[in-house]
A = this chain, B = another copy of it.
Amino acid sequence: DAPLVFIAGPCVIEGRAFALETASRLAEIFAGLGVGWIYKSSFDKANRSSADSFRGVGLAEGLDILAEVRDRVGVPVLTDVHEKEQVADVARVVDMLQTPAFLCRQTDFIQCVAGAGKPVNIKKGQFLSPWDMRNVLAKAVATGNDQIALCERGASFGYGNLVVDMRGLPIMAATGHPVVFDATHSVQLPGAQGNASGGQREFVPALARAAVATGVAAVFMETHPSPDEAPCDGPNMVPFSELAPLVKQLQSIDRVIKMGS
């Protein structure tokens, strides 16, 4: 029962200076609390609600920026991939790969990502039961890669809404693999803004505390210096200014669960 770690960062790479600066500030916050963390940011948003939405800086520049973040800030980095042909390039740069929830059932894709040999965070589809992740996991470990984490990000609950079934966390943990709780996508309201998803940032702390209280390996949390000005996922990202007290509280709960005090 290792202490809780975090996967955190802005939804999308908004530029080189932005990435370096946000990573530095997050590094200070997490170092101040003595918490392990991984920097997360996307080079491409491949499944936005609308084709007109901002997508990102692209693969080549994105990877170059992430490499620089890793080297200069000294933090491991994670990004998500969307297609098989991206995997080799991304795996050369990042410390952990992530697969999108909608793609969790694409056998070739999951096996291609797992086959790259780096740790992988597999997001559970909004349409999948927690126990069905065993089949997804089996596909991934069949490639010989055992460093696979399973990530909860909410399940479809009627239209335009997600619900987190906290039973899913221990169910997935029973596989023996680390379970990650994605606290910020779990509060998305899919399609709620017509041509973009809405979000309920105000529920991130309650859901994150709840998930940590069930006992998880990591919390995934998108965070931004000014979420309301972010080009994507603004409604559900946590402002930097609110991060430290929340992380501290989650640490305390994690200690109660894993160390009994």
Contact = CB atoms under 8 A, between A and B. Distances in A.
A175 interface: no
Interface string A186-197: 010011000100
Given A127-B156, A159-B129, A191-B131, A107 B206 contact: no
A158 B158 CA distance: 4
A64 interface: no
Contacts of A200: 167
B129 A195 contact: no
Interface string A159-183: 1110111110110000000000000
B252 A261 contact: yes
Contacts of A158: 157-161, 163
Interface in A36-83: 46-51, 55, 82-83
Copies of the chain in the assembly: 4
A225 interface: no
Interface of A: 46-51, 55, 82-84, 102-103, 105-108, 111, 125-129, 131-132, 135, 138-139, 142, 155-161, 163-167, 169-170, 187, 190-191, 195, 200, 203, 206-207, 209-215, 249, 252-253, 256-257, 260-261
B102 A125 contact: yes
A213 B203 contact: no
Contact of A128 (B55, B105, B191): B191
A46 B107 contact: yes
A48 B104 CA distance: 11
A187 B165 CA distance: 11
A163 B156 contact: no
Given A51-B138, A128-B191, A256 B249 contact: yes
Given A127-B127, A249-B256, 18 more contacts: A49-B105, A83-B83, A83-B84, A102-B127, A126-B156, A128-B190, A129-B160, A129-B190, A131-B191, A158-B158, A158-B161, A158-B163, A164-B166, A167-B187, A210-B211, A213-B253, A252-B260, A253-B253
